[in-house]
Structure 1
Amino acid sequence: MNAHLDQLEPRPVWRHFRTLCNTPRPSGHEAALVATLEQWAERLGLAHDRDDYGNLRVRKPASPGHESAPGVILQGHLDMVAQANAEHPHDFTLDPIDTWVADGWLRAHGTTLGADNGLGVAAALAILEDQSLIHGPLEALFTLEEETSMGGALALAEGWLDGRVLLNLDSEDRGQVYIGCAGGADVLVEAQLPSAAAAKGERSARLSLTGLSGGHSGIDIHKGLGNANRLLVRVLRALQGSGVRLCDYHGGTLRNALPREAFATLVLPADELAGAIQCVEALEAELRRELAGVDDQLILTLAALDEPPGEALTLQASHLLVAALHAAPCGVERMSTQLPGVVETSNNLGVVNLAAGRFMLCSLVRSLRDTATHDMADRLAALFELIGARTRVENAYPGWTPQPDSALLARFCRLHRQRLGSDPEIKVIHAGLECGILGGKYPHLEMISFGPLIRGAHSPDERVELASVTEFWDLLRALVEDLAQH
């Protein structure tokens, strides 16, 4: 499948990306891809090993005469975000990604593309097999479960890597180089809430919010895009005067993706149903006006259900849950005062579920300041304690502190000027690159991050600009060769 990728330039990169598209690799299901890459390394005679977590390392000796050059680590993650449009059934553990090209961009039919971070991995593989390249000692580090927990980086063995320079290939903007990133933590909230059977005269109805764009919960958090959980909770709050009680709720699928859809089943007095439907119609128009120009396809509906209503939260429990979710921080909390235009702290209400009275929230807090991450997590805990919920913080990872005087950065900027005729923008990103974690385990490493132009990451609108892949590949080859002359 995806044979057309073999015809794109640079061919070595796209050939490997085709393998990644054809090998299912959602987070937690990277084993088949790891086995494929190990077989590839065996055929090329490249040394390879794994640490205890399963992170894969592939090594290549230096070109003759360049053994004393600093060892270079090419780093990317093997997993991809698994998001599909509701009308496009796709099993990410079994089905390949179906790609297509239009107007100079590569996309996927109905699903995420996996350019994040598949193109970084493909470029590292292409460097390892390039026989014409002059290079120092090379290591490629391919980590696991970056998109769900940073698990591979967090569990990475210390004292395992040999290199002195790390090139993270997981950035998504051409003409930019990243030297710092936000840290983050998952905040998990759970509660068993009281419920009661439907009363005589109550009807059940289905509330749906669809059509949002979604996106990356770090890179896109400041763009004003709709968050389906935030918006549907707002609607539920507006309906509370109608005596609405929640039966179930399902919104979002990943804590690091802006939720595109949310659904709730509710019960309410039958004589309130018509008024509730009118209220929802008015709210749809209101939300469409507010999101005009950034999320124009929102669809909000409330429809009566024919089946008799079942158990629902008690009126008080439903009111308290909606109130807590409505008050929860969501989106940009603070902009950086030191880095103009950069988000400092944010929170994404990523996944919200309610079934049989059991409530669960998975929220992703990000910040350039680890203390602010901790404070936001504590605020969420304090809020949901008010409704008797239990909160825990998992998968916390540190930010990456910028080193603007880095010799590696200066070398990259010189090459960028020489090859592209312009200076790169030096950036700090409000997203969770693995560099902060890796730098904590290997404090001697000099690190930068760069990559091709990717838009719509973490959503089915994900796409990569073909011309930017050529630029990325040329810069990567030039940098590896330049470092060999150290």
Structure 2
Amino acid sequence: MNNPIQHLEPKAVWKNFFSLTQIPRPSKKEERIIEFMKNFGLSAGLETWVDEVGNVMIRKPATPGMENRKGIVLQAHLDMVPQKNSDKTHDFEKDPIEPQIDGEWVKANGTTLGADNGMGVAAIMAVLESKDLVHGPIEALFTIDEESGMTGAFNLQPDVLKGEILLNLDSEDEGELYIGCAGGINGNFEFPFKKVSAEQGTIAYKINVSGLKGGHSGLDIPLGRGNSCKIITRLLWHGVQKHGLRLSSLEAGNMRNAIPREGHATVTIPANEKEKFEKCMLSFAETIKAELSVTEPGLQITATSAALPDYLMDADTQNRMLRAVYGCPNGVIRMSDTMEGLVETSTNLSIVKTDGETVKVICLLRSSVNSAKTDLTHMMGSIFELAGAKVEFDGEYPGWKPNPDSAILKAMQDVYNTRFGKVPEIKAIHAGLECGLLGAVYPGWDMISFGPTIRYPHSPDEKVNIASVEKFWIYLTETLKNAPAKPVA
């Protein structure tokens, strides 16, 4: 299949990116992309292997005269976040992404694009298959499941890779070098409930929250976007207080690392509250929309008549759960004292979902300060323990401490200044880059993260800037050419 993006420059990168869009690769469902990458490496005549969890590794020798350079590990993750607009029919396990040019950007038709981290994967593929680039010893590390648990990075084995420098190609602002990131941990809270029958003289409604922007739960958390879990819980809590609302089912959010965009609940109220309830929901919806009018102009809140549900959640659990979720912290907790504009600590209330027996509440807690992350787990745990929930924290991953004396950092600053006439910005990121985990396995690695400009990752508005991809490619190849030499024995 031919597609306009394949004709963009640099063609070596864009043709590979288009190939990636045609292979379904949502987190936890990476079998086809793993096989594709394995075959890619073998077809290029390069040493290629897949480890026990599915990470793909490919080794390429240095070009003549570059054997004395430090070995570089080029790293990106194979999976992507599966998010789509509610009116888009798309099966992320079967259907290809539909990339399209939109002015200065490439985006997808109603879904996430997968530029996070497909652009990094495509660039590494272009390096591996190139016959004319100048570089020292190269190893490619393609990890799995970064977006949903960092399974690949967690299970990478030591002493497998030989490189001394890691270039992580998973950042989203061209011209910026990232030398640190936040660590994170998942908060899982569970409320078992009893099923009870709807009372006589009640009627049912379906409450819907939609049209929110969503976005990356780390990068976009300081933007003040609406959170569907918080909005719908606020509506339900208000309905309980004012109209005797009873809850049957609730579902909001579907990814722990994405700001939740949609939510819906099935509820009942006494029939004699019908007029008051509808008027109240309409008024309350307008209040919330007014509060978020700047950040969320597309927000829609509706309450429509529905069939009576087969069961309700028992009132005690309903009230404990709603109070806990309503009171649950969400958003920025603290800004960094050392880096202007950087979030230090945050939490994203990611998912609230009933399954007929329990209500599951999932949050992603992030911080670049380990003690602050620990404090946040205690705070969240205290709230949900008081409400009688089962509390569990898992999936913890470390942050990445900046090294301002890094040799590769100095080399990359010089390369960018020489090539583009300015020094790149040095930053840390409020997101869970794999560098923290990988650096724990290979503590001697000198690490940098960089990439092209990507906006609105983890949402159907995701897009990558075309011009930035070419600059990113030039920067990557010039960095490989100017990699630090090994110390002379």
Taking structure 2 as the reference length, the TM-score comes to: 0.97
Q: What's the secondary structure of 2:337's corresponding residue?
A: coil
Is contact 1:243–1:315 with CA below 8 Å preserved after alignment?
no
Alignment of 1:325-336 (within 5 A): 325-336=325-336
Does residue 128 (structure 1) correspond to residue 142 (structure 2)? The answer is: no
Q: C-alpha distance in 2, partners of 1:274/1:368? A: 50
Give the equivalent residue in structure 1 for 2:270. 269
| Structure 1: gaps of 5 or more residues | none
Quote how far apart the aligned CAs of 1:485 are: 5.7
Deviation digits for residues 362-419 of structure 1, max 9, x if unmatched?
2111110122222222322221122321121121100000111212111111111111
Q: CA deviation at 1:68?
A: 2.2
Q: Within 5 Å, give how 1:267-306 maps onto structure 2.
A: 267-305=268-306
SS at match of 1:23: coil
Q: Please tell me the residue identity of whatever aligns with 1:189.
A: F
TM-score by length of 1: 0.98
Within the alignment, does 1:106 sit opposite 2:110 as a pair?
Answer: no
Structure 1 contact 242–276 (Cα < 8 Å) conserved: yes
Q: Deviations over 1:305-352 (max 9, x none)?
A: 1x2343112333222211100011111111111222111111111111
The whole-number CA distance in structure 1 between the counterparts of 2:238 and 2:65 is: 72
| Cα distance in 2 for residues equivalent to 1:303 and 1:54 | 46
Structure 1 contact 24–96 (Cα < 8 Å) conserved: yes
Percent identity of the aligned residues? 42
CA contact (8 A) 1:27 1:144 kept: yes
The structural deviation recorded for 1:361 is: 1.2
Residue in 2 aligned with 1:254? 255
In structure 1, the partner of 2:407 is 407
SS in 2 for 1:333: strand
Q: Distance in 2 between matches of 1:355 and 1:133?
A: 54
CA distance in 2, matches of 1:317, 1:414: 60
- The 8 Å contact of residues 368 and 430 in structure 2, kept in 1 or not, is answered as yes
* 2:430 aligned partner: 430
Q: Which residue pairs with 1:175 in the alignment?
A: 175
State the SS of the aligned residue for 1:374.
helix
Q: Map 1:16-415; keep pairs closer than 5 Å.
A: 16-240=16-240, 241-305=242-306, 307-415=307-415
Report the secondary structure of 1:371's partner residue: helix
2:203 and 2:28 map into 1 onto residues whose CA distance is: 41
> Counterparts of 2:107 and 2:248 in 1: how far apart (Å)?
38
On the 8 A contact 1:2/1:98 being kept in 2, the answer is no
- In structure 2, what is the equivalent of residue 482 of structure 1? 482
Conserved? CA contact 1:202–1:309, under 8 Å: no
Counterpart of 2:453 in structure 1 is: 453
* Residues 41 and 48 in structure 1, CA contact (< 8 A), matched pair in contact too: yes
Aligned residues: 485
Rounded Cα–Cα distance in structure 1 between residues aligned with 2:76 and 2:333:
29
Larger displacement relative to structure 2 (434-443 or 32-41)? 32-41
TM-superposition CA deviations, 1:112-157 (whole Å, max 9, x none): 0000000001001101111111111100000000000011101111
> Does residue 5 of structure 1 match 2:8?
no
What residue identity is the alignment partner of 2:160?
W
How far off is 1:294 after superposition? 1.3
> What CA RMSD, in Å, does the superposition of the two structures yield over aligned residues?
1.2
CA distance in 1, matches of 2:431, 2:398: 11
- Cα–Cα, structure 1 residues 65 and 484, in superposed 2: closer, same or farther, change >3 Å? farther
SS in 2 for 1:215: coil
2:333 alignment partner AA: E
* CA distance in structure 2 between the partners assigned to 1:277 and 1:346 by the alignment: 35
Instruction: Quote the offset at 1:69 in angstroms.
Output: 1.1
* 8 A contact 2:5–2:101 mirrored in 1: no
- Output the amino acid matched with 2:297: D
CA distance in 1 between counterparts of 2:243 and 2:317 reads 15
Contact 2:411 2:484 (8 Å CA) reproduced: no
